[in-house]
Amino acid sequence: MLKESSLNLSSGLVRLSSGILSTLILSGAWTPSDFGYWVYISAVAGIASSFDFGLGIYAGSLSQNSSEKWQDHCEEKGRIFILAIIAGGFASLILNSVSVVAANYIHRGSHGVNIIGLLKETCMGLVGAKMISNIGLAALSGQGRYSHLLLISLCQSISVLILNTGTVVLGLGIEGNLKALSILNAAWALIILFSATCEKKCYGFCKVSKNWKSTIKKLISTAKKSCSLFPSSFSSSCFSYIDKIIVGAVIGAQSLAFYTIASMVASQINSVAGLITQPVVHLVEMRNASAQARRSLDRYAEISLVICPSIGFIIVLLSPIIVKIFFPALVDVNAILSASRAIGVMSLIYSLYSLNCYGHYYWLASKKYAFVSTLGVISSLGTLVAMLLVKGAYGLLGLISCNIVYVISILLTITAVVDNKTRIGLGFWGSCLMYGSSIWLLVSR
């Protein structure tokens, strides 16, 4: 258990560290407004790449059962990637056709930034390739190939850091950075696709068969399974991207930059919790036959109760320092305080809803796709509706506070704990202490 969690966590932390360092480089080199425009474009492309029809979650939950033939497992995995390529191309074409509408909605007065042109030019690299890469990484994790995943994550992260540093040093700006990033994404998509479909010299792609009816029937069956998870995966992406579009359209590019940094820093809590608890998918099927598997599930629940509030408290404590790190040229005291409060409040909210990770993987492994999807849709869309209702009435903090609606998703973990009869008394009181400390720190400031 410790080895699998450590390897999975290490690969995730490598990607997270790369993302933070890359953001540091870009936010430090550009003005908050320019960084906000970059976030605009990335958010729209991110929404388009979310149309994976649930293939990412399905690939991550697809672990081979002892009763399943190896060849059947490989062919199912291959069908996932065939559908991923189709979905990626479809999403790219859609973004290319609606880029004018998207740019007009999220942006007014570009100050020389051609958002429409950038969306069209970078859609393949930032949409299709990103979608395939995410599904490939999820498949590697679902297969339990954590050491291989760590190696890929390390190489990919280093290349992204070098690219961002290079574009800043050369002064290529937003346009040059996004174009270079698109090319790099496409290259890594091919590498990850090969890695995820090649194991023990067995390729996962469907064999060419003369029986086209059977092949199409199997593809439709795979698509149905993944589509049952699509509402959950897409609603999570809505929460990650559409909220930024709303913020930018309502209160401007500089406030969007602060909101983005706050959500990016705070979201690391959710990422770490997810990486630690992801191996739960391999234990759920064994819990009735193995006492050790049941005890391991209990430990995962307790660990999540300790990790989430602890990381949240640390971020709240260090929020003033984090602002100075990401925006070293920022001298306006009011802007610094606004950004610091944004990071603190967002971290508290993320530390609460990140408790859902244990339940998320528990119910995925139990094949309760509809339950996971329903809660994901309710919590994500509820947050977006709240943001649309509040708009700019209470400024940046008002929009950030709307994210509290997403805490509904911790019902996944509550029901999982009840279902598994997990005892979490000590972890529960410890988490209450950490949450109380975080609230006191925010209020005292």
Q: Do residues 201 and 311 both lie within one domain? A: no
Q: Do residues 195 and 260 both lie within one domain? A: no
208: left (phi over 0), alpha (psi -120 to 50) or beta: beta
3-state secondary structure of 199: strand
Q: Do residues 255 and 185 both lie within one domain? A: no
Of 3, 12, 2, whose CA–CA distance to 273 is shortest?
A: 12
377-397 burial string, b = 16+ CB within 10 Å, else e?
bbbbbbbbebbeebeeeeebe
- Please state, as a whole number, how many other Cβ atoms lie within 10 Å of the Cβ of residue 28: 14
What Cα–Cα distance (Å) separates residue 421 from each residue in 277, 305, 366?
A: 17, 16, 15
User: What is the Cα–Cα distance from 61 to 362, expressed in whole angstroms?
Assistant: 10
Domain count, the chain: 2
CB 325 within 8 A of CB 422: no
CB 223 within 8 A of CB 83: yes
How many residues are recorded in the chain?
A: 445
Q: Report pLDDT for 345.
A: 92
User: What is the Cα–Cα distance from 140 to 136, expressed in whole angstroms?
Assistant: 6
Contacts of 248-251 with CB under 8 Å at 24 or more apart are: 248/36, 248/39, 248/40, 248/43, 248/106, 248/107, 249/105, 249/106, 250/391, 250/392, 250/399, 251/392, 251/395, 251/396, 251/399
Single out the residue in 227, 245, 276 at which a domain terminates.
Answer: 227
User: What is the Cα–Cα distance from 236 to 200, expressed in whole angstroms?
Assistant: 34
User: What is the Cα–Cα distance from 442 to 341, expressed in whole angstroms?
Assistant: 8
Q: Do residues 172 and 289 both lie within one domain? A: no
Taking the chain, what is the end-to-end CA distance rounded to the nearest angstrom?
40
Partners of 203 in the beta sheet?
Answer: 198
Q: Do residues 328 and 234 both lie within one domain? A: yes
Q: Report pLDDT for 235.
A: 67
Q: Do residues 177 and 260 both lie within one domain? A: no
CB 75 within 8 A of CB 206: yes
3-state secondary structure of 60: helix
Q: Supply the pTM of this predicted model.
A: 0.68
What's the domain range around 67? Answer: 1-227
Q: Report pLDDT for 205.
A: 46
Q: Report pLDDT for 288.
A: 66
The type of residue at 53 is F
Residue 128 Cα to chain centre, angstroms: 16
Q: Do residues 76 and 209 both lie within one domain? A: yes
Structure tokens at 259: 């909101």
User: What is the Cα–Cα distance from 129 to 282, expressed in whole angstroms?
Assistant: 28
CB 232 within 8 A of CB 372: yes
Q: Report pLDDT for 348.
A: 92
Helices in 143-229 by DSSP H: which ranges? Answer: 146-169, 173-196, 212-227
Token pair 């809660």 is at which residue? 375
Q: 115-123 vs 32-49: helix axis angle to the nearest 10?
A: 40
Q: Identify the burial level of 143 via C-beta atoms within 10 angstroms of its C-beta, where 0-12 means exposed, 13-18 middle and 19 or more buried.
A: buried
Structure tokens at 234: 């897409």
Q: Do residues 234 and 223 both lie within one domain? A: no
Q: Do residues 242 and 202 both lie within one domain? A: no
User: What are the residues whose beta carbons fall under 8 Å from the beta carbon of 422, sequence distance 6 or more?
Assistant: 297, 298, 301, 416
Single out the residue in 181, 208, 227 at which a domain terminates.
Answer: 227
251-286 burial string, b = 16+ CB within 10 Å, else e?
bbbbbbbbbbbbbbbbbbbbbbbbbbbbbbbbbbbe
Q: Report pLDDT for 3.
A: 55
User: What is the Cα–Cα distance from 227 to 233, expressed in whole angstroms?
Assistant: 10
User: What is the Cα–Cα distance from 107 to 249, expressed in whole angstroms?
Assistant: 7
Q: Do residues 278 and 177 both lie within one domain? A: no
Q: Report pLDDT for 211.
A: 61
Q: Report pLDDT for 203.
A: 45
Single out the residue in 193, 227, 261 at which a domain terminates.
Answer: 227
Q: Report pLDDT for 278.
A: 75
Q: Do residues 193 and 256 both lie within one domain? A: no
CB 36 within 8 A of CB 111: no
Of 130, 136, 135, 153, whose CA–CA distance to 7 is shortest?
A: 153
Q: Do residues 113 and 172 both lie within one domain? A: yes
What Cα–Cα distance (Å) separates residue 85 from each residue in 47, 152, 422?
A: 17, 20, 41
The type of residue at 221 is S
pLDDT tens per residue across all 445 residues of the chain? 555 556 656 666 677 677 778 888 888 888 877 787 788 788 877 778 777 777 877 776 665 444 445 566 667 777 777 888 888 888 878 777 777 776 666 555 545 667 777 777 777 677 888 888 878 877 777 666 667 777 887 888 888 889 989 988 888 888 888 888 888 888 888 888 887 776 544 444 445 455 666 767 777 777 777 777 777 667 666 667 788 888 877 887 778 888 888 888 888 888 788 877 877 767 777 776 677 777 777 788 888 888 888 988 999 998 888 888 888 877 778 888 888 888 999 999 999 988 888 888 888 878 787 888 788 888 888 888 898 888 877 888 889 999 899 888 888 888 888 887 777 766 677 788 888 888 888 888 7
